[in-house]
Amino acid sequence: ARAQAAAAAEAGDAGVAEAAALRDQLADVQGELDAAKADADAAAARAAELQGDLDTARAALEDARAQAAAAAETGDAGAAEAAALRDQLADVQSKLDAARADVGAAQADVDAAKVASDAADARAAILESELAAAQAEVTQAKARAAEAGDAGRSELAALAAELADTKDRLAEAAGGREQLREQADKARADANHLREKLDQLREELAAQQPAAPGADPEELRKALTAVADAQRDLESANAALESAQAEAKSARKASRDLDQRVESLQARLAEAEKAAATAKAAPVGGGGADLSGIGQTVADLYGVVSSFRPDLRSIGDAARMLNSDDDDERSEGSELMRDTLENANSRAGELKNLVASLRDYLDKHGVQA
């Protein structure tokens, strides 16, 4: 009986230590989440500043179109006016090029914030897996205490119910992320449709525009083509700006969702510590179910959880590489992030199977889970 009591106490101490380690890791993830939210906010602010440049370019384009139309109506094909029109169109094109470059920079900032948020999301998922392993150890300690009577089995059932509730919440969060991805795909499809429609309108305008009497048809055709091209580029730049703003909004929402999940994990850590302390203090004696064979399953569970730790370090390294100014280093960081997430997903599947085996074992031996 003393040996069994000592074993239960040792298991409870291990659960408390594991919970403390998880708290430290969650604090690190909290810091990364704050940084991701700050990056997303900065990207959104920069995208908003670009709106002024686009408005200026749009006004210049409208003025150029008006002058082109006036030239077509009057039939004035003078060299000076044609040259002035071309200069105005070139100026509009230059402003559009600058706006597109700024939009591209804003999009890069949003992408970087999204990568940081995804990395924090992956680390939070791994920490959730480690928390599940800690709960499994507490479950084992509770199972040993359950041999003393119904009180231990009731506590074990309560922990199993909490674990099931956590899985349901994680499933809901995954559904929310999938919905965001679907909305982003729809927005991109709408943007492609708009670009196709603008191209069609440009072709129709060039085909239907009559040449004014006395005007140089070639000069008018070039002017109309330049105006149509400038309009298309302006609309594309505007669409890119709207996409950048939407991505920034999505990144902020993802950061808020992760923030809520971290708070939930912190609360569950406190519950795990309390359960471990209860297991340590619970009396151990004869009677109850024989759970001597559960040790190997828990050992396998810890093996899988331990393998997540290198993945955490790799995710951090990949995130730093993605923020580098060197193109090759960013490419290596992207590949490292992709490989690490694939490994983590594979281990998550192994962890799910082990948890299922543990619950089946408890059911088989008459312990409610």
What is the C-alpha separation between 290 and 100, in angstroms, rounded?
70
Note the pLDDT of residue 333.
Answer: 83
Q: Running DSSP on this structure, what letter comes out for residue 209?
A: P
CA distances from 185 to 44, 115, 117, 147, 189 (A): 20, 18, 19, 55, 6
E-only strand ranges, 165-281 = none
Contacts of 272 (CB under 8 A, 6+ apart): 15, 19, 131, 134, 135, 138
> To which H or E segment does residue 176 belong?
helix 150-208
Mean pLDDT of the chain: 64
Region 236-241: mean pLDDT is 62
3-state DSSP call for residue 286?
coil
What is the C-alpha separation between 97 and 110, in angstroms, rounded?
20
Note the pLDDT of residue 28.
Answer: 75
pLDDT by residue (tens digit) across 317-350? 877 787 778 888 888 988 888 888 888 778 777 8
Q: How is residue 13 written in tokens?
A: 């101490």
Region 177-183: mean pLDDT is 52
What is the C-alpha separation between 59 and 70, in angstroms, rounded?
17
Q: What Rg value do the Cα atoms of the chain yield, rounded?
A: 31
pTM above 0.75, yes or no: no
What is the C-alpha separation between 283 and 4, in angstroms, rounded?
9
pLDDT by residue (tens digit) across 283-299? 444 444 455 556 676 66
Residue 360's pLDDT band (cuts 50, 70, 90): confident
CA angle at residue 94 from 226 to 203, to 5 degrees? 20
Q: In this predicted structure, which of 105-109, 181-185, 355-359 has the lowest mean pLDDT?
A: 181-185
Give the long-range contacts of residues 183-186, CB within 8 A, separation 24 or more. Answer: 184/246, 184/247, 184/250
Higher pLDDT, 184 or 23: 23
pLDDT by residue (tens digit) across 2-56? 455 455 556 556 666 776 677 677 677 777 767 767 776 776 677 667 766 676 7
Where residue 262 falls (left for φ over 0; alpha for ψ -120 to 50; beta otherwise) is alpha
Note the pLDDT of residue 344.
Answer: 75
